[in-house]
């Protein structure tokens, strides 16, 4: 009985609001198609999905942390500092694969540090990660001193601007792998169930024998790793790196997660929703560009979007609760 109820409450919102979300995306796309003649060109669509991939890679890490205990607000800064270290190493003639490995290890370690601040020191995640980001942006600034590093080798850039087959670019490939692995870990492994259980009710999870500390450490480490990966893809794609490369990524990637239907209260959500959310977010940004919306409006629009989505999520879950209590 207990088992069945918890399964229903986990699945239902995903299916119900999942369909609604895809529908919303289609509506936005059709509206964009009317507003701008170039929207439905193959080039623009390939561009949108490629741009969405960076948001989606960050979003998968954020989704896992939001499900487990609270959002990792340092994703943008971990992305920045690891990307900076990677490009510095590459420019110092280190082989690019070794630079990637170092960046990924560093991202994981910083994520682990976030986890330690939450589990051992006892800070709420949105404080420790929000605080860490200022220090990390500071260090990125120290390393680059305001310079822009650009022009990398073709080998290095392949992961960002190469193509696998036809119009399928490497960022899309990386995104598909990350989203698939994220889905697999969350839905098909005990680790995933640990994440959901910890986020739904930490005390209950601990009492039923789940090592919640380990779950939180793992969630933040994954988020750090994926931030570093997104950073590598981003730098390889735009062929340049500066100390504020990740500064404007936090709000949109967080919006992506909530648009994907992951609940801010934890314990519910999934990565496929985040993928759709990332595409919606990118279509909106792309639309703002095509329609010539001045860039000063960008933050205001994204902030409003976050608030509206979370309000919608709250309304949906209230409806579901009502439906559940009637049953």
Partner 1 sequence: MMKGKIEGLSPIRILRSLQPVFWVTLFLMLVFNFFSSRFLSLHNIINLFQQGAVLLIVAAASTLVILSEGLDLSLGSVLTLAGITSVMTVNGGAPVSVAIGVGVLTGLLCGALTGTLIAVFNMQPFIATLGIQGVYYGISLVLTDSVAILTKNKTFIFFGSRIGYIPMAAIIGVGVFLLILYVFHHTPFGRYVVAIGGNESGTRLSGVNTTFWKWFVYTFAGGITGFAGVLLAARLEAADPIVGVGWEFDAIAATILGGTSFQKGKGGVAGTALGVLLITVVRNGLNVIRTPSILQPALIGTILIIAIVIQVGLSMRSIEKEGKNRP
Which parts of this chain interact with partner 1 (CB under 8 A)? 70-71, 73, 117, 121-124, 126-128, 130-132, 134-139, 141-142, 145-146, 251, 254-255, 258, 264-265, 294, 296-304, 306-307, 310-311, 314
| C-beta of 167 vs 303, nearer to partner 1 | 303
| C-beta of 138 vs 324, nearer to partner 1 | 138
| C-beta of 19 vs 135, nearer to partner 1 | 135
What's the closest the beta carbon of residue 260 comes to partner 1, in angstroms? 14
Q: Is 111:223 a contact under the CB 8 Å cutoff?
A: yes
**CA separation for the pair 197, 191 (Å, rounded):** 10
Q: Is 59:278 a contact under the CB 8 Å cutoff?
A: yes
Contacts of 294 (CB under 8 A, 6+ apart): none
Alpha helices in the chain (DSSP H): 2-35, 42-68, 75-91, 96-116, 125-144, 154-161, 170-188, 190-200, 202-207, 212-238, 250-259, 271-290, 298-326
Among 227, 219, 225, 253, residue whose Cα is nearest residue 118: 219
| C-beta of 55 vs 233, nearer to partner 1 | 55
- Please say whether the dihedral angle defined by the alpha carbons of residues 17, 20, 26 and 31, taken in this order, is positive or negative: negative
Q: Is 219:195 a contact under the CB 8 Å cutoff?
A: yes
Please report where in the chains the tokens 């994954």 appear, as a residue. Answer: 222
At residue 163, what are phi and psi to the nearest 5 degrees? -125, 135
What's the closest the beta carbon of residue 127 comes to partner 1, in angstroms? 6
What's the closest the beta carbon of residue 52 comes to partner 1, in angstroms? 20
Q: Is 36 helix (H, G, I), strand (E, B) or coil?
A: coil
What's the closest the beta carbon of residue 44 comes to partner 1, in angstroms? 25
| C-beta of 139 vs 163, nearer to partner 1 | 139
| C-beta of 171 vs 246, nearer to partner 1 | 246
What's the closest the beta carbon of residue 121 comes to partner 1, in angstroms? 5
* Structure token pair of residue 276: 């759709």
What's the closest the beta carbon of residue 70 comes to partner 1, in angstroms? 8
258: left (phi over 0), alpha (psi -120 to 50) or beta: alpha
> What is the number of alpha carbons within 13 Å of residue 105 lying toward its C-beta?
6
| C-beta of 74 vs 286, nearer to partner 1 | 74
What's the closest the beta carbon of residue 152 comes to partner 1, in angstroms? 24
At residue 241, what are phi and psi to the nearest 5 degrees? -145, 130
| C-beta of 20 vs 138, nearer to partner 1 | 138
Q: Is 219:65 a contact under the CB 8 Å cutoff?
A: yes
What's the closest the beta carbon of residue 46 comes to partner 1, in angstroms? 28
């Amino acid at each position: 009985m207990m088992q069945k109820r918890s399964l229903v409450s986990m699945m239902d919102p995903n299916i119900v609001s999942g369909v609604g979300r895809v529908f919303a995306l289609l509506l936005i796309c059709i509206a964009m198609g009317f507003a701008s003649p170039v929207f439905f060109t193959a080039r623009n669509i390939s561009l949108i999905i490629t741009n969405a991939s960076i948001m989606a890679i960050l979003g998968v890490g954020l989704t896992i942390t939001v499900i487990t205990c609270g959002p990792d607000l340092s994703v943008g800064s971990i992305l920045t500092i690891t990307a900076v270290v990677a490009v510095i190493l590459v420019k110092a003639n280190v082989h690019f694969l070794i630079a990637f490995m170092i960046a990924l290890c560093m991202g994981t370690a910083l994520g682990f540090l976030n986890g330690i601040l939450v589990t051992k020191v006892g800070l709420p995640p949105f404080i420790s990660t929000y605080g860490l980001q200022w220090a990390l942006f500071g260090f990125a600034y120290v390393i680059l001193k305001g310079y822009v590093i650009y022009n990398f080798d073709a080998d290095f850039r392949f992961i960002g601007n190469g193509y696998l087959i036809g119009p399928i670019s490497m960022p899309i490939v990386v995104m598909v792998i990350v989203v698939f692995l994220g889905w697999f870990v969350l839905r098909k492994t005990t680790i995933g169930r640990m994440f959901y259980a910890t986020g739904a009710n930490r005390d209950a999870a601990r009492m039923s024998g789940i090592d919640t500390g380990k779950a939180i450490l793992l969630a933040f480490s994954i988020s750090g790793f994926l931030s570093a990966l997104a950073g590598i893809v981003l730098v390889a794609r735009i062929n340049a790196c500066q100390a504020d490369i990740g500064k404007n990524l936090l709000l949109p990637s967080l919006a992506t997660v909530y648009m994907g239907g992951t609940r801010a209260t934890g314990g519910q959500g999934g990565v496929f929703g985040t993928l759709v959310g990332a595409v919606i977010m990118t279509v909106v940004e792309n639309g703002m560009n095509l329609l010539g919306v001045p860039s000063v409006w960008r933050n205001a629009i994204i902030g409003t979007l976050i608030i509206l989505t979370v309000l919608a999520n709250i309304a949906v879950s209230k409806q579901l609760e009502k439906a559940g209590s009637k049953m």
